[in-house]
Amino acid sequence: MNDLGEIAPAQVEASKVSFFQVGSEDAGQRIDNFLLRIAKGVPKSHLYRVIRAGEVRVNKKRVDVTYRLEEGDLVRLPPMRTAAPPPQKARAAEFPILFEDEHLLVIDKPAGVAVHGGSGVAFGVIEQLRAARPNAPFLELVHRLDRETSGILALAKKRSSLAALHEQIRAGEMDKRYLALVLGAWPNLRQHIRAPLLKYLQGDGERRVRVDPGGVAAHTVVSLKERFPGAALLEVELKTGRTHQIRVHLAHLGFPIAGDDKYGDFAANRDLARAAARPLLRRMFLHAWRLGLRHPATGAPLEFEAPLPRECQQCLEEMRDAQAV
């Protein structure tokens, strides 16, 4: 704590009055979004209640929920009850770095690691990176990857960088390419898939996505890379970034991704895992291998590539060997 009584967001205590002086990275953010970020475990309804009641003060004055913070503002936070015990502390971890400067961090995420906590996952990539970099003033995901998808993941190290990169995504300027192994005899060298996607919940509460006329527009471009008996390696380009877009679009056409445990061919996945003396494939074969964007500060074009993980490369090599016999 400094002379102003400033407390870092991770140190805000629900049982005590605390203060936070706004730096450049929080300037421009709405007060409600700011509180939602720093007051972990406090019910959203309670946060809005204390703002409206005037218990949250900025420079000793009441503000409404739409107030946008300015650099140098002193925010007073009242004691706030938490809805649950403090969450489990994330274990610090680093991941293979493809690029890093003061604005941007690009990593190669392994399969099986969620990008963030939630839905039964205590913590993910973002929480582990923050734990590994406790002095980093800002670190946020630019986009997301499914837990079982490996490959390139971009994170912003400044709020201004995050805004600039999100604008590139909205404008369709970010080039995201994936490699996917699908089951079936893929027919075309290049194909556009335009099919609306709708999110829904199953009876057990699990989130799923399906092609549905009432869904949101989704556009995927697929190029054939290599054919195998009963399978094909595809390069997939995302024109929109919907949840499970690649997996659902390909499965909808009858070409599920190998190893996909949500939308895939479960019998074929089992056979792939038992196809050799050692397992041929025990994960979903979907890898974010190329990302193109403009640097959020300079505008310079950047392109990153992440090679296929060893297990995916070995799967292809064994399929090629079997094809050559």
- Give the pLDDT confidence of 220-268 residue by residue, as tens digits: 999 999 999 999 999 999 999 999 999 999 999 999 999 998 898 878 7
Answer left, alpha or beta for residue 60, where phi above 0 means left and psi between -120 and 50 means alpha: left
- Structure confidence at residue 86 as a pLDDT band (50, 70, 90): low
Tell me the C-alpha distance between 6 and 4, whole Å. Answer: 5
- When divided into structural domains, the chain yields a total of 2
Q: Is 47 domain-assigned?
A: yes
Among 77, 107, 125, give the residue marking a domain's end. Answer: 77
Q: Examine the domain organization and report whether 29 and 174 are in the same domain.
A: no
Higher-pLDDT residue of 322, 189: 189
pLDDT at 2: 37
Q: Examine the domain organization and report whether 65 and 179 are in the same domain.
A: no
Q: Examine the domain organization and report whether 47 and 107 are in the same domain.
A: no
pLDDT at 88: 66
Among 44, 77, 110, give the residue marking a domain's end. Answer: 77
Q: Per DSSP, which regions of the chain are E strands?
A: 18-21, 57-58, 61-62, 74-77, 97-100, 104-109, 140-141, 150-156, 175-183, 190-194, 197-201, 207-211, 219-228, 231-238, 286-294, 301-305
Q: Examine the domain organization and report whether 69 and 102 are in the same domain.
A: no
What's the mean per-residue pLDDT of the chain? 87
- Give the pLDDT confidence of 177-215 residue by residue, as tens digits: 999 999 999 999 999 999 999 998 887 667 899 999 999
- Give the pLDDT confidence of 101-112 residue by residue, as tens digits: 999 999 999 999
Q: Examine the domain organization and report whether 297 and 235 are in the same domain.
A: yes
pLDDT at 90: 75
Asked if residue 286 has pLDDT above 70, the reply is yes
Q: Give percent of the chain with pLDDT exceeding 90.
A: 59
Range of the domain at 217: 97-324
Q: Is 204 domain-assigned?
A: yes
Q: Examine the domain organization and report whether 54 and 141 are in the same domain.
A: no
Q: Is 92 domain-assigned?
A: no
Q: Give me the CATH number covering residue 71.
A: 3.10.290.10
Residues 41 and 14 sit within 8 Å (Cβ to Cβ) = yes
Residues with catalytic roles: 146
Q: Examine the domain organization and report whether 135 and 270 are in the same domain.
A: yes
Q: Is 294 domain-assigned?
A: yes
Tokens of 43: 């019910």
Tell me the C-alpha distance between 188 and 223, whole Å. Answer: 8
Q: Examine the domain organization and report whether 254 and 317 are in the same domain.
A: yes
- The mean-pLDDT minimum among 91-95, 181-185, 217-221 falls in 91-95
Q: Examine the domain organization and report whether 140 and 179 are in the same domain.
A: yes
Q: Is 240 domain-assigned?
A: yes
Tokens of 277: 């003396």
Q: Is 83 domain-assigned?
A: no
Q: Examine the domain organization and report whether 284 and 176 are in the same domain.
A: yes
Q: Examine the domain organization and report whether 134 and 201 are in the same domain.
A: yes
- What is the reported pTM? 0.73
Q: Give me the CATH number covering residue 177.
A: 3.30.2350.10
231 closest CA partner among 254, 252, 215, 211:
254
- Give the pLDDT confidence of 25-44 residue by residue, as tens digits: 788 888 988 888 877 777 87
Q: Examine the domain organization and report whether 63 and 178 are in the same domain.
A: no
- Give the pLDDT confidence of 10-28 residue by residue, as tens digits: 344 555 788 888 887 788 8
Q: What is the CA 180 to chain-centroid distance, rounded?
A: 18
pLDDT at 83: 55
- Structure confidence at residue 45 as a pLDDT band (50, 70, 90): confident
